[in-house]
């Protein structure tokens, strides 16, 4: 009877009312066995009685949700317990004591059978349009760990992100889409375990389908679903940052958790069967191999189907598009997503590079993919914080980086513009430090990027100098105004709203402490900036979003664009080489809405002559710390190193 219930697909543990089907792909270990654990950790070993295309499967009656299991394989002369690559939950936070031997594997975290029934209370996917999307990158634990307005039991958890105080913050700041640092199960690297540290960011995947246990009070599956449901009730999307380019098994000599023991071809190997390291993490997942591709696509469908996830940001996504060793925008991975009726509906954001050959692929991902635009980041930081005056490059980034992203593909092909990300300086540190200070990471300050394009304004780090503090606040406003009023999808770092500093650490991946935890104790300047930023996001939605819609697709050629001197005359070719004060005029159709950008990166106040035709509303002037409701008509005096945005109906 039960043999008929046994199926090769789907892979993993699939529960029904009569028991559970267990299925696993294993080419290299044909003697693999299923191991069930009872509440006292006593084991029952079960042979697989069916095989199909190197998939071993069996049906076990009377299994219930919560059943703990694993797989036993032969590892040289020992028996090793491995995780199910398709595990949908883990029974405890992963941890081991080096070295990770076959004996140690039996003490390690184990897979858990899951019943995905959940009351979604008729919530729906928010489906925020691209041109209205405000991405906010945050860390589940780090964002709420020190938030006093959240009950202590919820701080640092999935449920903490959907408490009233947290939701109030998102709504106040105009956030439409939370982009969560990895919430899939993670294992800290061996060198961190030796230093008694953890991979705080989570970019070292263990099991792709299992939510990270350390962010749960008791039940990671139910609590993460609850978080998504409550955010959806408020119209807020949840975007998962997900890592498929490598796994926590590392390179040669790294630990063995599952894939290494099951089939060496899960990974990209050289002619000597050694791991290619195109990720900088020891191994590279090979998505030209069908079982690898199947695992990744099944994982994406899993998160959308069972957790109602709204989209994904793919870490080192150039790896996923590799056809062997070279990048191919027509690779099987892209085609598999494009034809999938579930995955067609979600947002797809690529980090368009890795460290292998053909590793930098900005602008080369297929239609339907948005890409993290590091060209925007570098150009805008250099313009405001550096001594490089390349206004032609700056203007290109402001207008949507159309040298990489044709407006004919907008809005679904809009670039994801950003100033700060989880890696690199926070916004506050960008204007406070000239050099990285990563000593706390235990790597002699050799880790982290050296090209920060930051400026401390005369003092390295904290200061009471009012002149320095004023300049820093102004530059923060310059950077955020440029981000919010550029053509693209703005990506904000959640802690930037709080002016959080990491003390100059630009690679705080292993800092599960106050370095990374958002500081909610705000100074008057911090409060002023938070309120200013909230107002700017609101203005972005009201004023900029219609221009992005109008400049997208077939309608893009029907509008007015002019680049002017401060005196109102059109700029010529020579002006693009050395001008420091200039203006951008945008108008919809022949007589529609108008926008005016007054950009003065010089150290001299400049008077601008404004286009005739009526009064202009001043949306913001970054030389001022508050947003007013003022108007001007013929001229405007622009302060030094600042930008003003004006609009007119």
Q: DSSP per residue over 415-455, as a string? A: -EEES--SSS--HHHHTT-SS---GGGTSTT-SS-S-----
| CA-wise closest residue to 131 among 627, 485, 492, 508 | 485
Average pLDDT, integer, range 327-335: 96
Q: Which tens digits make up the pLDDT trace of 256-284?
A: 999 999 999 999 999 889 999 999 999 99
Residue 575 covered by a domain = yes
| Res. 506: pLDDT tops 70 | yes
Domains identified in the chain, total number: 3
Lowest mean pLDDT among 291-300, 318-327, 592-601: 318-327
Beta strands at 135-138 and 489-493: parallel, antiparallel or unpaired: parallel
Mean pLDDT of the chain: 96
11: its two tokens: 């892979």
**Which of 366, 393, 409 is where one domain is finished?**
366
- Whole-number pLDDT of residue 76: 83
What CATH number is attached to the domain comprising 622?
A: 2.60.40.1180
Average pLDDT, integer, range 381-386: 95
Residue 233 covered by a domain = yes
| Res. 476: pLDDT tops 60 | yes
**Which of 340, 366, 392 is where one domain is finished?**
366
What CATH number is attached to the domain comprising 271?
A: 3.20.20.80
CB 323 within 8 A of CB 344: no
Question: 597 pairs with which residues across the strands?
Answer: 584, 645
Residue 434 covered by a domain = no
**Which of 112, 145, 178 is where one domain is finished?**
112
Q: Is 523 exposed, middle or buried (0-12, 13-18, 19+ CB in 10 A)?
A: exposed
Catalytic residues: 315, 351
107 with 142, same domain: the answer is no
Residue 535 covered by a domain = no
142 with 228, same domain: the answer is yes
Q: Is 538 exposed, middle or buried (0-12, 13-18, 19+ CB in 10 A)?
A: middle
Q: Which domain holds residue 176?
A: 129-366
* Separation in Å, CA 567 to CA 287, 543, 578, 584, 631: 56, 25, 16, 12, 19
Q: Which tens digits make up the pLDDT trace of 35-86?
A: 999 999 999 999 999 999 999 999 999 999 999 999 999 988 899 999 999 9
Q: Which tens digits make up the pLDDT trace of 384-399?
A: 999 777 899 999 999 9
69: its two tokens: 């299991």
Helix (H, G, I), strand (E, B) or coil at 318: helix
280 with 157, same domain: the answer is yes
Beta strands at 594-600 and 642-648: parallel, antiparallel or unpaired: antiparallel
Average pLDDT, integer, range 294-302: 98
169 with 295, same domain: the answer is yes
| Res. 633: pLDDT tops 80 | yes
- Whole-number pLDDT of residue 36: 98
**CA-CA-CA-CA torsion for 173, 586, 478, 201, nearest 10 degrees?**
50
Residue 122 covered by a domain = no
Average pLDDT, integer, range 595-623: 96
207 with 344, same domain: the answer is yes
Q: Which tens digits make up the pLDDT trace of 333-364?
A: 999 999 999 999 999 999 999 999 999 999 99
Which residues contact residue 541 at a Cβ distance below 8 angstroms, ignoring those fewer than 6 apart? 132, 134, 174
Q: Which tens digits make up the pLDDT trace of 442-475?
A: 999 999 999 999 999 999 999 999 999 999 999 9
77 with 142, same domain: the answer is no
| CA-wise closest residue to 347 among 549, 125, 196, 166 | 125
What CATH number is attached to the domain comprising 48?
A: 2.60.40.10
Q: Is 575 exposed, middle or buried (0-12, 13-18, 19+ CB in 10 A)?
A: middle
96 with 139, same domain: the answer is no
Average pLDDT, integer, range 542-570: 94
Confidence band, pLDDT 50/70/90 cuts, at residue 148 = very high
* Separation in Å, CA 388 to CA 317, 601, 602: 30, 11, 12
* Separation in Å, CA 47 to CA 50, 59, 72, 128: 9, 11, 10, 49
342 with 255, same domain: the answer is yes
Half-sphere CA count of 367, side-chain side, radius 13 A? 8
Residue 80 covered by a domain = yes
Q: Which tens digits make up the pLDDT trace of 85-142?
A: 999 999 999 999 999 999 999 999 999 999 999 999 999 999 999 999 999 999 999 9
What gap in Å lies between CA 265 and CA 313, rounded to an integer?
25
- Whole-number pLDDT of residue 63: 97
CB 401 within 8 A of CB 370: no
* Separation in Å, CA 85 to CA 111, 247, 261, 459: 9, 11, 11, 50
- Whole-number pLDDT of residue 1: 45
265 with 161, same domain: the answer is yes
Confidence band, pLDDT 50/70/90 cuts, at residue 554 = confident
Q: 5: which DSSP letter?
A: G
Question: 56 pairs with which residues across the strands?
Answer: 24, 51
pLDDT > 70 in the chain, percent: 100
Helix (H, G, I), strand (E, B) or coil at 402: coil
Confidence band, pLDDT 50/70/90 cuts, at residue 3 = low
Phi and psi at 83, nearest 5°, equal -80, 155
623: its two tokens: 């030389």
581 with 626, same domain: the answer is yes
221 with 314, same domain: the answer is yes
- Whole-number pLDDT of residue 2: 58
| Res. 4: pLDDT tops 80 | no
Residue 404 covered by a domain = no
Residue 216 covered by a domain = yes
195 with 88, same domain: the answer is no
């Amino acid at each position: 009877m039960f043999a008929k219930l046994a199926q090769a697909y789907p892979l993993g543990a699939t529960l029904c009312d009569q028991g559970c089907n267990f299925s696993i792909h294993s080419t290299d270990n044909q003697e693999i066995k299923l191991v069930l654990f009872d509440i006292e950790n006593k084991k029952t070993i079960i042979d697989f009685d069916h095989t199909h295309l190197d998939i071993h499967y069996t049906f076990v009656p009377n299994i219930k949700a919560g059943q703990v299991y694993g797989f036993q394989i032969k590892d040289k002369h020992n028996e090793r317990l491995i995780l199910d690559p398709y595990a949908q939950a883990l029974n405890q936070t992963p941890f081991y004591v080096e070295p990770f031997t076959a004996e140690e594997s039996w003490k390690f975290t184990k897979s858990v059978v899951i019943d995905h029934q959940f009351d979604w209370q008729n919530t729906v996917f928010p489906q925020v349009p691209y041109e209205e999307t405000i991405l906010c990158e945050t860390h589940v634990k780090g964002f709420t760990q020190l938030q006093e307005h959240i009950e202590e039991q919820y701080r640092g958890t999935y449920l903490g992100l959907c408490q009233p105080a947290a939701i109030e913050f998102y709504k106040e700041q105009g956030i439409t889409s939370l982009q969560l640092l990895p919430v899939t199960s993670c294992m800290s690297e061996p060198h961190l375990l030796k230093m008694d540290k953890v991979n705080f960011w989570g970019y070292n995947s263990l099991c792709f389908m299992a939510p990270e246990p350390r962010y749960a009070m008791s039940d990671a599956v139910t609590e993460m679903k609850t978080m998504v449901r409550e955010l959806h009730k408020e119209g807020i999307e949840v975007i998962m940052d997900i890592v498929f380019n490598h796994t926590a098994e590392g390179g040669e000599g790294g630990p063995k958790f599952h894939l290494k023991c099951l089939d060496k071809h899960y990974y990209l190997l050289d002619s000597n069967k050694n791991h290619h390291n195109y990720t900088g993490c020891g191994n590279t997942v090979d998505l030209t191999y069908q079982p690898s591709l199947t695992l990744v696509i099944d994982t994406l469908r899993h998160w959308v189907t069972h957790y109602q996830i709204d989209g994904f940001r793919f870490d080192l996504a150039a790896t996923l598009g590799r056809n062997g060793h070279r990048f191919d925008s027509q690779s099987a991975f892209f085609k598999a997503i494009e034809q999938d009726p579930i995955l067609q509906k979600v947002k797809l954001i690529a980090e368009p590079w890795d460290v292998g050959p053909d590793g930098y692929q900005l602008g080369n991902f297929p239609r339907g993919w948005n890409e993290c635009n590091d060209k925007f980041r570098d150009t805008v930081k250099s313009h405001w914080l550096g001594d490089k005056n390349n206004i032609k490059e700056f203007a290109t980034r402001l207008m949507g980086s159309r040298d990489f992203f044709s407006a004919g593909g907008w809005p679904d092909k809009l670039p994801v513009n950003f100033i700060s990300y989880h890696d690199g300086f926070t916004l506050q540190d960008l204007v406070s430090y000239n050099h990285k200070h990563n000593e706390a990471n235990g790597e002699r300050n050799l880790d982290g990027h050296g090209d920060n394009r930051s400026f401390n304004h005369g003092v390295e780090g904290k200061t009471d100098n009012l002149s320095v503090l004023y300049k820093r606040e102004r530059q923060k406003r310059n950077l955020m105004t440029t981000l919010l009023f550029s053509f693209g999808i703005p990506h904000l770092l959640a802690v930037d709203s709080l002016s959080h500093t990491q003390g100059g650490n630009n690679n705080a991946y292993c800092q599960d402490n106050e370095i990374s935890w958002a500081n909610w104790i705000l100074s008057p300047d911090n409060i002023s900036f938070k309120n200013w930023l909230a107002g700017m996001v609101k203005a972005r939605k009201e004023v900029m979003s219609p221009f992005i819609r109008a400049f997208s697709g077939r309608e893009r050629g029907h509008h007015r664009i002019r680049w002017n001197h401060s005196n109102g005359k059109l700029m010529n070719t020579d002006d693009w080489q050395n001008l420091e004060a200039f203006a951008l005029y945008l108008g919809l159709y022949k007589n529609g809405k108008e926008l005016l950008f007054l950009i003065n990166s010089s150290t001299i106040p400049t008077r601008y002559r404004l286009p005739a035709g009526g009064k202009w509303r001043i949306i913001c002037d970054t030389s001022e710390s508050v947003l007013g409701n003022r108007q001007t008509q013929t001229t405007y005096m622009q302060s030094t190193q600042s930008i003003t945005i004006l609009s007119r109906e």
